Each structure stands twice: as C-alpha cells, then as structure tokens.
Structure 1
Amino acid sequence: MSDGKPIVVLGVFVADTTYHAERQPKIGETILGNAFTLGPGGKGSNQAVAAGRLGADVSLITRLGEDAFAELAKTTWRDARVKPFVTPDPESYTGAAFIFVEKGSGDNAIIISPGAAGRISPEDVEANAERIRSAGIFVTQLEQPLPAATRALEIAREARVTTILNPAPATPLDDAMLALCDYVTPNESEAEALTGLPVHSPEEAEKAARVFLAKGVGAAIVTLGAAGCLYVSRERTERIPAMPAGDVVETTGAGDAFNAGFATALARGEDPVAAVRFGCAVAGISVTRAGAASSMPRLEEVEALLRG
C-alpha cells in the first residue's frame, strides 16, 4: 500500500494500568494477580498509534494534563509518528484506565477516568478546524464529551471529509449526529445499546445496521469478534470473516486496531469492503499480543497475513 490521504483522529489518551488475574474480585475482596503492566491507551490514541504504525499520515487532537502520564503519551506518539495537537490542561490530570484481563480467555473489563481528556471541548476542536478540513479521513469515538465529537463531525462533513464514528463506549446519540457519519463501527453490544435490537448473530447484526442507515448513516460495520464483521450500506451487504493470526492473548485494543486499519485502507483508496478486510487483519494480529497501543502491528505484518 502506498501513502494515502491524511487521517485526523479526535480522541482521548489514558495510561492503561492492566491487571491480570484468574477472576475479578468481589466488592470488599482482595485477590492476588498474575501480572501488571503500565502502557499507553485511550481509544483515540490507540487508533492514531495503530494508523501511524501502518504508515498513515495521522494526527491526533486531544487534551492532556501536565504530568508523567502526559510524557508517556508524547513518547508513544513520537515512536508511532503520530502528529499530536494537544490542549494542555494543568488544572486536571492525564487520564488513566483500570483494565482487568481474565486469565485463560483474555477477555477484559475496563474502568476509565479520562481526566483532562474528559474536558475536550468544541473550542479545542475549533482551534484545530483547518486540520480537520484538510484531512481525507476523520475518526472519532465517544470517550470525549459529545459536543466536541459532534462539532468535529460537523466540520469534517462541511468540508466533505470522510467521517468514521466508532460509537464506543455506547452513549445515546441523536439522529442529527449519526447523519454526519459516513461510517459507524459498533461492536455487538454497542449496536444493541444504540438500536435497541438484540445482536447475537449476523442476521440480527444486519437488522441493527439498517437502523443506523435509516438514521442517515452512510454504512454500518458491526464487528462480531471471532465471527468477523458485517458491512451494510444501501447498495451492498457483505460478511467479512475474522483473520486469526495465532492464539488470543487478550482482546484489549482489538476494536481500535480494526478502526485504524479500516481508516488507513480507506485513506489509501481501498474499496470499503476491502478496507474492512484490512481492518480485520490488523485486529487479528493485535489480539495475539498483550496491551493496547503496544499490540498494534506494522504494515508488513498485516500485508503478510493478507497474503496468507
């Protein structure tokens, strides 16, 4: 793949504190864990880092405190060639996340305290409006406040920039915001929460996807874990299988890997379904490694998996 159009991501950085144990403790209980790691996280940051590792021209709009976790963020972005556009916030703290990883399954449960990133505002977005307008692809999620995400989507849509909303964590959204999105990329639980429909099979996922289309979204991509993805637009419905690359270590960051891969392939001119397949390959590699940002693969690894 050659270099493509610029990608701009609006999102949060948090420092991931990851605890591995046999199970989660009950309230009032203390248990011993098996391992601990500290690393970079936050959906927006993870997606930007993953796109950077894939060779994309990617920028990240966010807000940080002035502390040790902020330095971790800057080092992470520098290593992945992400261009940061940061509003410094000395009155708050750089966000942090508690991540529990269950031994054996690799499944996770997460608590996020966004700190400064929870104060990302429409004014922060306006300060970076020209960068959004000059992008080929704009990506955001729902970890920062909705007014900031909405304003950024409005700016991108007005400039005819392709817009991707990863609606995570699931939050009630009005139809006007969804109508600003060329693509939405919920997982099964997010699709359920946002449409009110059960999503336990590809058939149910298609029904949920069509609810998004009825609200003005261009295309919905429901990620189905080991079952792959379902792409639904007004013209086309495709099921794309998962692309396993080895044993699952943990699933933290898999959705971010997918979204970054999808955005990167779109930026390079790929057909949307081919871009979904590329995103599945990125996610397939990411789950074979521990961590979030640290699990994101390089372009050559993804291309090797796609070649089979």
Structure 2
Amino acid sequence: MKVGVSILGIFVADTAYLARRMPVVGETITGSGFSVGPGGKGSNQAVAAARAGSQVSFISKIGRDTFGEMALRTYAEAGVTPKIVQMDDLPTGAAFIYVNDQNGENAIIVYPGAAGSIGIDDVEAARETIEGSRIFVTQLEQPAAAAQRALEIAHAAGVVTVFNPAPAEPFPDAIYPLCDYIVPNETEAAALVGFALATADDARRAGDALLKKGAKSALITLGERGVLLHSESQSVFVPAMASGAVIDTTGAGDAFVGGFSAALARGLAPVEAARFGCATAGISVTRRGTAPAMPTLAEIEALLGRGAAA
C-alpha cells in the first residue's frame, strides 16, 4: 500500500538579511536583521508536509559539516524521514536571502553544494522510497536529469507526481507528460509560456499552454491573488488565506506545495487540497524564516475553519 509523500530536493542553510532595499553594485548598506536557519525548496516542502500531518521521506545529499547537522536536526524535529547521503568532499549548500523589512518581499541566491551532485544513480538508489509513496514531489534545485528520472520512476509506479519548476531554469519537455500537477508561481509560469500573467485570463491561458505541453493539471500560485487550479475538467481560482500581517514571503511557495501534497496524500480532492495549501502558505508568511515558519496541522485546520479569505 502506498503511503505518504516522498520528496527529492536540496537542503541549504538559509542566511537571511533584512534591509529596507537591496544595495546596488559597489554599495554597502546597513541591514535591520540577520538569521541563519534551515532551507532549500525540497527540504522546506518536506518539513511543511510533515508538519501538516503527512508521513514524509526526503531524498537528498548534504555535507558532513555544521550545516549538515542542522539539516538532520530539522528532520528529527519535524518528523521527516531522511533518505540522505552525507558527503565528505562537498559542503552542505547555502542560500543568501534578502528580505525587504517593509513588505516581506525577497530575492535569493542558492548554492546547492553537495545536493548539486545528485544524479540518476542516487535516484535509482531511492527507487523503493519513491515507488512506495502516494505522492512524489520534486523541483529544479538539484540537476534536472535527476528530477526527470525520479518523475519517470514515480509515474511508472502509479504515484501521483507534483513538479515545482523552481528555480525558473530550462528543463526537458519530456518532463511535462510525467506531471500530474505542475506547480509554478506566476514568474516561473511566465518564463515557461512566454507571456506575463497580469490577469485571470492570462493565468488560464498559461494553464492551457502547460496542459498542451503534456501536464495533466497546472497549479499556478499567484501570491495574494491565490492559486489557479487548471485542468481539462475544471478551472478554479482558490483564494489566498489570510492569517495575519505578512512579514516574510520567502517560504510561501514551499509551504503551499508541502501542504497541497500532504492533503492529496490524505485523499482530499484537488480543490480542497489547494485550499489546504493556501492555508499553509497563509500562516507561513506571518513568520520569519522558511522551514521554521511552517505551521502544524492544527493551525492549518483552525484557519480553514475560520474560512478567512484575503
């Protein structure tokens, strides 16, 4: 029997700098805050799904160093089962994150470190984990060839696949037909389809374009505008969920993907799973950080019960 969620991705240590604005080249400015904590899209999604009540396995590589120890502590605390290879010759990855201290908007540079060496052999070694899960999730912070092979394994085994094409890097068109759900944000979707998503009609046109490429369903996250769930059978805008003042949007997309995947694994219908993901994200943006900001199942259910819509 297939259970839970398996995720292929990377862990990085997030080094976050708060400031009123980004400096220009050659300029030094004074910031208003700094923190170091666990991050990486796949890792954040794993923590989000686990805190949202799912059984989660996370497949990755880390270094044998201080940041690697942070990763393992994070998974122990969140209840994530690590399917991790520790390397002696490459460090754990790290990310520079600028956070605007006025509105929570962010910009990020990621160095994947050991996880940048994830290859097809590593994916094959995790085949049993992937095939045994109900939902499989991956992104593009590790090499695209590894993501594609993992999606092929999951698809062939009848596992529901969720592909988050982030960061917005080129990937083979052969990935699209392997996707039960492709989940870009509006910037990533624009890069994939070649036009901006300024209106609801634009978002639906983008959804059509992603389906034409072979994906079964598109879930386009639109920030405060919510999420578009688009397939051949339905096209539904799911509103964003408000939980409080927005202070840091850094992990919002990861919170959505993790919450959505956990809800699918529990058997929720796609629209309800998208609402669950929106609630997960709606709570995460009211807190500093990425993985540490992910809410518990009780918190998510409380927000859904209030039915607060932005």
- Structure 1: gaps (5+ residues): none
Which of 262, 267, 272 lines up with 1:274 in the alignment?
A: 272
1:85 partnered with 2:83: yes
CA contact (8 A) 2:3 2:132 kept: no
| Counterpart position of 1:20 | 18
1:39 partnered with 2:37: yes
Q: Name the CA distance, whole Å, in 2 between partners of 1:225 and 1:200.
A: 12
After superposition, the C-alpha distances for 1:173-225 in whole angstroms (9 at most, x for unaligned) are: 33211110000111100000011122112210110111110111010011010
| Counterpart position of 2:161 | 163
Q: Name the CA distance, whole Å, in 2 between partners of 1:44 and 1:173.
A: 17
Q: What are the equivalent positions in structure 2 for 1:192-203 lying under 5 Å apart? A: 192-203=190-201
| Counterpart position of 1:297 | 295
| Counterpart position of 2:174 | 176
Q: Name the CA distance, whole Å, in 2 between partners of 1:97 and 1:168.
A: 14
Q: What are the equivalent positions in structure 2 for 1:75-224 lying under 5 Å apart? A: 75-224=73-222
1:230 partnered with 2:216: no
After superposition, the C-alpha distances for 1:26-75 in whole angstroms (9 at most, x for unaligned) are: 11111111110000000000000111111210000000011000000000
CA contact (8 A) 2:6 2:130 kept: yes
CA contact (8 A) 1:99 1:111 kept: yes
CA contact (8 A) 2:285 2:293 kept: yes
CA contact (8 A) 1:188 1:200 kept: no
Q: Name the CA distance, whole Å, in 1 between partners of 2:199 and 2:74.
A: 37
Give structure 1 regions of 4+ aligned residues with deviation exceeding 3 angstroms.
none
1:255 partnered with 2:258: no
Q: Name the CA distance, whole Å, in 1 between partners of 2:9 and 2:41.
A: 7
CA contact (8 A) 2:101 2:247 kept: no
CA contact (8 A) 1:229 1:242 kept: yes
Q: Name the CA distance, whole Å, in 2 between partners of 1:103 and 1:21.
A: 5
Q: Which amino acid aligns with 2:95?
A: A
- Name the TM-score, length of structure 1 as normaliser: 0.98
| Counterpart position of 2:243 | 245
| Counterpart position of 1:68 | 66
Q: Name the CA distance, whole Å, in 1 between partners of 2:298 and 2:92.
A: 33
Q: Secondary structure at the match of 1:152?
A: helix
Which of 3, 6, 17 lines up with 1:5 in the alignment?
A: 3
CA contact (8 A) 1:171 1:194 kept: no
- Structure 2: gaps (5+ residues): none
Q: Which amino acid aligns with 2:253?
A: G
Q: Secondary structure at the match of 1:169?
A: coil
CA contact (8 A) 1:154 1:180 kept: yes
**Superposition deviation, residue 247 in structure 1:** 0.2
- Name the TM-score, length of structure 2 as normaliser: 0.97
Q: Secondary structure at the match of 1:177?
A: helix
Q: Secondary structure at the match of 2:110?
A: strand
After superposition, the C-alpha distances for 1:105-134 in whole angstroms (9 at most, x for unaligned) are: 110010001110111111110001011011
CA contact (8 A) 2:4 2:262 kept: no
Q: Which amino acid aligns with 2:166?
A: A
**Superposition deviation, residue 87 in structure 1:** 1.5
> Aligned residue pairs: how many?
305
Q: Name the CA distance, whole Å, in 1 between partners of 2:52 and 2:268.
A: 14
Identity %: 54
